[in-house]
Amino acid sequence: MSNSTRRTFMVQTGLGLAALGSMELVLSACAQPTMGTVSGEEANRVLIQMGAVPKDGAPAKGVLKPTTPLSSGPFFRPGAPFRGKLSLPGEPGTTFVLSGRVWALDTKRPLPGTVLDFWNVDMNGKYSDGVTDFRNRGRLVSSETGYYELESIRPIPYRTNPGESPEYWRCAHFHLVAVCPGYKSLVTEIHFVGDVHKSDSMYRPENAIAPEKHTVNGASFESGVFDIVLERDSASS
Ligand SMILES: [Fe+2]
């Protein structure tokens, strides 16, 4: 990028941001608003589109059941970054694209604006600390059609009592917290069909996804779909 092009780029992207100290960012007086908007159609093209990406707010087909809750465990950390890619470039493991929709049990309609907080272990069976290291943690907001999509690595089973007997293994899982105004917050886990540790007492078949394998442009990854159904919070109405 030439110097003139670089200057133009910085002006056009409003990089009149000036850092004050190490903790604070303020907008400089010469900053300009970012021009242009992205239409819904253009936004949809940005999605990876693993399958039938919903484009409307039509009611759910079939019967909805509230998603089975599970405890959050000891490794939830508040304040994960908002992003669709939870793992770092080069993170060891199988790249995994998780997607789905958030639904309201009462209206059978999609729930936009739901904050979804995900976290999962790395290939050592460890969680990032969620303070200085947010690997495999992230928050997303469901779209106008209740849709969400993230990329992480496929979590592996992990042992909770190394060195002790008998061994206790957790089945592989994504953790999830879903929060939507007017609806009961949900804490749960997403499991995998055929997990070698499905004897784990926490394993819930109704929360298990069936991964699919893909190869695109020589890159292999897996995907899974998990819909989330929230119940109306009568106390908030
Ligand atoms: Fe866990």
Q: How buried is 63 (Cβ within 10 angstroms: 0-12 exposed, 13-18 middle, 19+ buried)?
A: exposed
CA-based end-to-end distance of the chain: 55
75 CA to centre of ligand 1 in angstroms: 7
Predicted confidence (pLDDT) per residue in 75-127, tens digit: 999 999 999 999 999 999 999 999 999 999 999 999 999 999 999 999 999 99
228 CA to centre of ligand 1 in angstroms: 19
183 CA to centre of ligand 1 in angstroms: 24
152 CA to centre of ligand 1 in angstroms: 15
DSSP 8-state assignment for residue 30 = T
91 CA to centre of ligand 1 in angstroms: 18
**Contact predicate 147/115, CB 8 Å:** no
Which sequence spans correspond to the domains of the chain? 1-36, 42-236
139 CA to centre of ligand 1 in angstroms: 17
pTM confidence score: 0.79
Q: How buried is 31 (Cβ within 10 angstroms: 0-12 exposed, 13-18 middle, 19+ buried)?
A: middle
Q: Which of 97, 151, 150, 162 is nearest to 124 (CA)?
A: 162
Copy the structure tokens of residue 149.
């999509």
76 CA to centre of ligand 1 in angstroms: 9
Predicted confidence (pLDDT) per residue in 23-47, tens digit: 566 777 777 766 555 555 544 444 4
Question: Partners of 95 in the beta sheet?
Answer: 153
104 CA to centre of ligand 1 in angstroms: 26
Classify domain 42-236 at the CATH class level.
Answer: mainly beta
120 CA to centre of ligand 1 in angstroms: 7
**For residue 64, is pLDDT > 80?**
yes
213 CA to centre of ligand 1 in angstroms: 23
